[in-house]
Chain A
Amino acid sequence: MSQKSFLFSGFGGQGILFAGKFLAYKGLTDGKQVSWLPSYGPEMRGGTASCGVIISDEPVGSPIVTNPDILVAMNLPSLDKYESAVNPGGIIFADSTLIERKVERDDVTVYYIPATKLAGENGIPTLANMVIMGKLLAVLGDNSEEGIAAALGKVISARKAAMYDANYTAMKLGADYE
């Protein structure tokens, strides 16, 4: 049985919940079992936001992600809080525009992506989340165009169809970043 758990964390407004929702839809359109659980409460108003996503071949048991296989940290407090929680052998994606320090652990793979900078330079300043998503899917070898299109089609409502290309551009930026 294959199961992967993801934790997305950052400031409210960085699209943390959206990124998680996109990934959950990606799992769903790939025919997997998925769950998505946000942190909720007063901390959402301007403070930290996080959500856990599980993608599995089997029905998902507990939807709570305490020790993620993959951590996406979009600001320093998120890395400080969750670095030690990542499963050994796991992967950390860090937005290196906003996180200046390096990951201290040596039993995880780390990708530093200046996502906020890349997004800003390319006229899509609100899509740093999807820049990292592009890299994440590329690293997982899960970035077929059809798969991404199917998930984007689900997560972006028809009313906001204009956002489709921007999201795709963001993911391409992340995927191509070395």
Chain B
Amino acid sequence: MADKVLMKGNEAIAEAAICAGCRHYFGYPITPQTEIAAYMAKKMPKIGGTFLQAESEVAAINMVYGVSATGHRVMTSSSSPGVSLKAEGLSYMAGADLPALIVNVQRGGPGLGGIQPSQSDYFQATRGGGHGDYRMIVLAPASVQEMASLTVKGFDLADQYRMTTMILADGTMGQMMEPVALDFAENKAPAKDWATTGTDMKRPHNVVNSLYLDPAALERVNFERYERYAYIEEHETMYEEYMMDDAEICVAAFGIAARVSKNAVNEARKQGIKVGLLRPITLWPFPKAPFRAAADRVHSFISVELSMGQMIEDIRLATECKKPVTLCNRAGGIIPSPEQVLEAIQQAAKNGGAK
């Protein structure tokens, strides 16, 4: 195994992207993800890649569109307000079936909000963000190691399914340092026979476009896209279960909220409360199966979020509201404390599943 180094989550994303063969980065600075751009600015010129600080987030995402159309691995990164600006481009890329990696190191919102960590872009990430029927694959790292490994995985998934993958992190994940091993196997984009690379007069033109003026044609590509999405929902969910075997209460949390919740679960276990943690790693596709299975065994769910309660809706959908789901949250850039989560667990234990 390679020597472990201490890295910030943001730097780990940047280095992992380079390991994954990404040689094109376009972005615009915004706290708390600026280290990604800074790392790329330093590294890309040395390895024959492109780093470009665009004039805006809108410009950056359209540069990503352009490079992706040529078949190369490409990425952009931003934080919440900047990702809103990219929403139009994300929709266009979905309409043109273009792969790319998008990183959102979330901060408190709405509006300019603040710069402290948040998870309040869950709806935006899992429901698309831009207009039209489309999905993005959304990955939620909960450690610096996962910031790296999910970046590599994200490029692979994007290419495999010709869609954008979003890394949905938060300010804590971006800023914290943890040991990380960057021993990824040589990783390259697969051949892309749809890419606009020049015909050499030997093949018909490839066209990358999201405009379909014929409603029947537009309906057809939408239905085809959703068949692909259904396949992804079936095959690509990722999650982690912690102490769920005999759990009577299921705490659900992703990213930094999962880290905090793990402390609370350990503490509650010491007090004899049978509680476990179910951590979605893919937010879309949402890991419905383990939630559905848990709903048959536990008496209640607690959704721990750095938002006013967004993932809680997916838990209710996945479990068809079979068991009560309560919210344990902070917002605006504040992180719930392990004590707050522990109190929510104790309350759930007391209620015993009563609605």
Contacts and interface: CB of A to CB of B under 8 A. Distances in A.
Interface string A21-46: 10011001000011111101110000
Nearest to A63: B176
Interface in A35-92: 35-38, 40-42, 60-64, 66
A61 B260 contact: yes
A72 B171 CA distance: 24
B262 interface: yes
Contacts of B172: 37, 63-64
Given A40-B115, A41-B31, A35 B4 contact: no
B338 to A, nearest CB: 6
A36 B337 contact: no
Nearest to B32: A40
Given A25-B6, A28-B4, A38 B259 contact: no
B351 interface: no
Contact of A38 (B6, B175, B335): B175
A35 B263 contact: no
B260 A21 contact: no
Query: What's the dominant secondary structure at chain A's contact region?
Result: mixed
A33 B338 CA distance: 19
Contact of A41 (B4, B6, B115, B179): B115
Contacts of A41: 31, 115-116
B337 A63 contact: no
B172 to A, nearest CB: 7
A90 to B, nearest CB: 18
Contact of B6 (A36, A60, A61, A63): A36
- Please classify how large the interface on chain A is, using the bins under 10, 10 to 19, 20 to 34, 35 or more: 20 to 34
Q: How large is the interface on B (under 10, 10 to 19, 20 to 34, 35 or more residues)?
A: 20 to 34
Given A24-B6, A25-B6, A34-B6, A60 B178 contact: yes
B338 A24 contact: no
Contacts of A61: 259-260, 262-263, 266, 338
Contacts of B177: 21, 24, 35-37
A63 B144 CA distance: 11
Nearest to A64: B335
A62 B262 CA distance: 7
Given A21-B177, A63-B176, A64-B172, A28 B263 contact: no
A60 B177 CA distance: 12
A28 B6 contact: yes
A38 B115 CA distance: 13
Given A34-B6, A34-B179, A62 B260 contact: yes
A110 B96 CA distance: 64
B176 A35 contact: yes
B175 A37 contact: yes
A40 B116 CA distance: 8
B259 A63 contact: yes
Contacts of A63: 172, 176, 178, 259
Interface string B322-349: 0000000000000101100000000000
Given A41-B31, A66-B337, A28 B175 contact: no
A154 B6 CA distance: 9
A28 B260 contact: no
Q: Which of A36, A38, A154 has the most CB of B within 10 A?
A: A36
A28 B178 CA distance: 9
B337 to A, nearest CB: 6
Interface in B96-140: 115-116
Nearest to A66: B337
Given A61-B266, A64-B335, A37 B260 contact: no
5 contacts: A24-B6, A37-B172, A38-B176, A41-B116, A63-B176
Closest 8 A/B residue pairs (Cβ): A36-B177, A61-B263, A61-B262, A62-B260, A37-B176, A62-B259, A62-B263, A40-B175
Interface of B: 4-6, 31-32, 115-116, 171-172, 175-179, 256, 259-260, 262-263, 266, 335, 337-338
Given A41-B116, A61-B260, 15 more contacts: A24-B6, A24-B177, A28-B179, A36-B6, A37-B172, A37-B177, A42-B115, A60-B259, A61-B259, A62-B256, A62-B259, A62-B260, A63-B259, A64-B260, A66-B337
